[in-house]
Amino acid sequence: MTLPDHPPLPICQVRLPGRVEYETALAEQNALAEARGRGAIPDQLLLLEHPHTYTLGTSAHDEHLLLTPPELEARGIRVYRVDRGGDITYHGPGQIVGYPIMALPRESEGLRADVVGYVRRLETVIIRLLADYGLQGQPIAGLTGVWVQTPSGAAKVCAIGVRVNVKAVTKHGFALNVNTDLDYFGGIIPCGIRDKGVTSLATLLGAPQDMAQVRERLIAHFGAVYGREMQLTTTTPPLA
C-alpha cells in the first residue's frame, strides 16, 4: 500500500545577524515585511541581540521610563518609540530577541488575521523551550508574555509585543531573557506592570546558559508550533 505524500511545509528562513543596533534591525524588519507582503520571500525569523535599549510601544506611558536623559546617557542606553503593541521594555546583551516576519493566513480577502492566535502560539514556543530546561512557563490571563513562578511570585521571562500590517504580515516579536543583566529593568516599569518581577534563564537555573543552544532549541520549537520548515540563510536581506 502506497501512503499519500504529505505536502511540504512552508519555509521559514532564519537569520542570525548577531548584535545589531535597534534602528538597523527595525529597518531590516520593515524591508523584509514589505518583501513578504509582495510574496517575494518566504516567512522569516530574525534572532539577534541588541545593545542596551528601551523601547516604548503604542500603549507606553512616559512615566514608566524612570531614568533621566543624563542617566540614560551615562549608562549607554538608547530609547525608541516604536509601532509594536504594549508598553515599555528593555533589550540588551544576553537576551534573544526574535522578530518573525510572517504572512498570517486569512479566511478570505478583507478578513483580519488571527493576531491573538499568533501571539498565543509565540507563547507556546517559549513555554516548550522552558520545558526543555525543566521550567514551567505559563501565560497569565489578561497579560502578554511568558511567566514563571518564583519564591517572590510571578516573574516574566519573555516579553511579547507585535504589530501586524494591512497585508497581515507580522513585525516585532519577543524578547527572551537568557543571560540578561536584569539590573537594567530597574530603570523602567517593565510593560507597565508594577506588581510582578522579571527573571532570566540564568537566574532560574543558577548559571549562565549557552546562547547558541537556546537559539537552536527555540528554532526547532518555532518550526513545530507554526508548522514551518526552518532554513538557516545567509542571503543578504533587501534592506531599505
Active site residues: 191
- The residues that bridge with 16 in the sheet, in sequence order, are none
Kindly report the length of the chain: 240
DSSP string, 95-128: EEEEEEE-B---SSTTPPP-HHHHHHHHHHHHHH
115-132 and 211-226 helices cross at what angle (nearest 10)?
Answer: 140
CA distance 196 to 48: 26
Helix (H, G, I), strand (E, B) or coil at 155: strand
Instruction: Convert 86-119 to b/e letters by CB count within 10 Å (16 or more is b).
Output: bbbbbbbebbbbbbbbbbbeeeeeeeebbeeebb
Residues 89/157, Cβ–Cβ less than 8 Å = no
Lay out the sheet containing 53-56: strands in order across.
Answer: 78-81, 53-56, 88-91
Residue written as grid cell 520545558: 131
